[in-house]
Structures are given as C-alpha cells and as structure tokens.
A and B are shown apart, each in its own frame.
Chain A
C-alpha cells in the first residue's frame, strides 16, 4: 500500500517538477494516440455512416466483422504490423519499424473498428423517418448525412472517447512495433512495463497515475462538448 502512495507522490513530483524525460514521454503518448485517433475518426465515422445508411448484400456479415474488429487484441495487431514492416516484409521499404509512425499505424488499426462500430450503431439508431424528412425538405445527400451526424453527436463523441481510450492505454502493439526506444518511441505504457521490470515500482506507478490524469482530462473536455446544449 505504501508503494502506491509513494507512486502517487512521485507522479506529482515528476509532473510538477517538469521532469524532461517524463514530459517527453507524455507528450509523445499524446501525439501518437491523438494522431491515430484522429485518422481513425475520419475513416471510422465515414465507413460507419456509409454502412449504416446503405443497403447491400452481405451487410450483416460486414457489420459482424466490424463488431469483431472492436475486440482486436493489440498484441495481435502489433505482431502482424511488425511482420509487415520488417525489412524483409512486404512494407519493409517504408523503413518505419521501431518509429513513432509505426505505433500510429498500429494504433490506427486498433481504433478504427471501435470508432466504426460505435458510429454505425449511432447512425442506425436514428429514426428512419428523419432521413426521409430531411430529403423531402430538399437537402442533398451530403447535407442529409451532416444532419444525421449532428443528431448522433452524443454517441459519436462516445466513439471518440472509446477509440482514444483504447489506444492510449494499449501496450502490446506499442512495444512490438515501437521498440520502447528511449527518447524516441517510448510511451507511457511501454515505459511502465520497463520500469516494472527494472524494479522501479514507484516510477511505474507514477507513470500509471500520469496516464490516468491524462485520460481524465481528455475525457473531461470531450464530455463537456458532448453534454453542451445549444441554446434554442
């Protein structure tokens, strides 16, 4: 128990002492997971909306595949992405294994099904009549989609939180494709694993606390946006 308390104290020391290494690791985690989430939002929301609105054969199979993708284990994604990015692998010419870019790619693959699945559900649960009504009022298809997305903004922001939460906290893929390289591809979760291995438990706990604070602050902002009601 003392250890957890020491860890929390250490976390505040590192945070408020502006420890340059910890600041760098924290900033990198934010940059990597933020970028991955942003790209996954673009792809995930558009795919989710398209599948929700379209009628095509095999739609149920596609939806079940997307929902399965929401449970993709990060280590499996890490393994596959590393094999693809190996020098001898099909994408080896990119020369991005063990770089932050590789982590972004892996986290993008983890976050996209989550965002897609939740967006799909969000758009699908809107009343069908709303679509017809909007179209009947003379909206173009693009305007219709925009209105639907606005109506679904509460669950869509939940998709953002779930996607970001999924990638900022994962460690399996980051360590495999990033390599946990000091000052370069070391993020909060991989640093926590390493410090635990070194027996520096209070630093490991401190990193965990920083991760939690970060997740809390970001979700606080997103929740405020989500719960914000436009004056009518």
Chain B
C-alpha cells in the first residue's frame, strides 16, 4: 500500500512539473497585453484587421477578451486587463474619477440605430427622435429585445428609456438576452422585435437579418469609443508600457486612416469614423 502511495505521489509531482513548465512556456514575461473590449469591435472584424500591425510593430502579443463595456471596465477595476477599448462614456468617466484609469483617449465614433421588423408595428420608421421612438414602442407594447448585459449599448438603451420616462424592466414586451450584439440581433430578427444596435455590428451581420434600420441620425444615438489605460499605481501587475503602446497605436495617424477605410469595400460605407485628437463635445454636431 505504502509503495503504491509513493508511486502515485511521484506521478502527481511529475504532472505538476509538466503543468508548471507548460505555463512558463506559454507566457513570456510582460510581452502580453490584455485588451478588454466590447463585442462590437470584434464582431465587426476591426480588431482582426488592426492587431496584426500592432503586434508586428511592437512585439507585444495582444490577448483580446471581447465582453461588454461594463464587464471590460469591471476587469479594469480589478487590474485583470491592461487596456480597454470601450463605448460607455458615463461609466468611463466614473471609472476615471475613481482612479482606475491613467489615461483616456478618444478613438472613433459611429452611431447607434434602432432596428426593427419591416412591418413596424409601433410605427417608428423615420422618426427623428430616439426618445419618441422608444415611447411609441412602449405604448404599442411591441417586443423590444435588449442586450441586458451592462454593455455600452445597454447603457445607452437605458439612458433613452430614462429620457422617455418608461420603465421597461419586467414588462412582457421587454426581453433581455444577456448576449453580445450579433447574437442579440439574431434574437430580435427571429422574434420580429425592435432592438438598439451599433451600426457597425448591424452592417456586419445584416445579410442574415430580417431587420431594417428604422430610426437613425438622432444626436442621442452617438456611439463614442475611447481607449483607456488601466492605472498601474492601483494594480502593479498591470502591463503599463504595453497599455501605453496600444493606446498610442490606436490614435496614431496610420491607424486612424485604417479605421476610416475599414468596411468601405465590404459594406459600401465605413463602419467607424476616426476622431483622435478631437474634443468629445463637438462630435456629431
């Protein structure tokens, strides 16, 4: 019995060693940059276009974790991400105020649109105001599919409901998916519901959707992306140099030009508009 125990113990030790060796092998020192970002930057394909340039130029390896803006900032608050690319300005300002970010730079914008079924039960097509559109959806009790995941899109949606004076939570016509934008658009399309989406993701997945853009162009629907470096003085393990390199890269002239052209060939119109160096208040006016 004793001998068997000893044999087993040595096998386990060997395995632990293998584990440790594999771990060391897979993670070179501080060469990794963890980028927590929204699903829209991944689902639209923008990051797949940009990251190879960054990695080739700097030698850093970017680990992209695509989650909602809310979760991305939660990762930043815990020091589990080095740099964030997010689109939830109010929450971002709070994030900076609480000292979790060391630098926040404007990168680009596009806009949100209200998408819905062609028959448009709530008669919102062509409305100029997103707030009016939401009021009409609520009055018609037409199905609205929400992200429900604390993402930037969800935050924007809640602001519009608040401005419309409607409390949709718990109502039968209001459903929350808890999924990314691409999947939520699918749900809305299959159930013939309305949803709020960023234009980039809508254009990228449009070919499989039975949804039209019904409301657009409202100033309230501006969708602004910032890059935020997580503050290394809060979390010493944060890769500050890598985060700085990534932020600088995102606002560089060359990358801004790539963002400007991104999607033109595939969708006929750009998905994002580069804004580096501009003032946020002047966007969309």
Contacts and interface: CB of A to CB of B under 8 A. Distances in A.
A105 B19 contact: yes
A87 B80 contact: yes
Contacts of B45: 198
Nearest to B186: A199
A94 B237 CA distance: 12
B23 A182 contact: no
B80 A46 contact: no
Interface string B62-78: 01111000000000001
B79 interface: yes
A197 B15 contact: no
B23 A141 contact: no
Interface stretch (B86-94, B159-167, B203-211, B275-283): B203-211
A99 B180 contact: no
B237 A87 contact: yes
A97 B79 CA distance: 13
Contacts of A125: none
Contacts of A179: 63-65
B204 A100 contact: no
B22 to A, nearest CB: 5
7 contacts: A39-B15, A88-B78, A88-B237, A95-B23, A198-B43, A198-B204, A199-B204
A196 B183 contact: yes
Nearest to B29: A95
A88 B80 contact: yes
Contact of B22 (A97, A104, A184): A104
A210 B204 CA distance: 25
Contact of B1 (A88, A104, A141): A141
Contacts of A88: 78-80, 235, 237
A141 B7 CA distance: 13
Interface in A12-64: 39, 42-43, 46, 50
B235 to A, nearest CB: 7
Interface in B1-38: 1, 3-4, 8, 11-12, 15, 19-20, 22-23, 26-27, 32, 34
A184 B64 CA distance: 10
A198 B205 contact: yes
Contacts of B42: 194
Contacts of B78: 86, 88
B217 interface: no
Interface residues of A, number: 34
Interface string A98-122: 1111001100000000000000000
Nearest to A202: B208
A21 B266 CA distance: 21
Interface string A124-160: 0000000000000000011001000000000000000
Nearest to B39: A197
Contacts of A39: 15
A96 interface: yes
Contacts of B22: 101, 104
A100 B23 contact: no
A181 B12 contact: no
Contact of A96 (B4, B23, B180, B185): B23
B64 A181 contact: yes
B148 interface: no
Contacts of A194: 42, 66
B242 to A, nearest CB: 14
Contacts of A100: 26
B178 interface: no
A95 B27 contact: yes
A92 interface: yes
Interface in B41-60: 42-43, 45, 48, 51
A180 B66 contact: yes
B270 interface: no
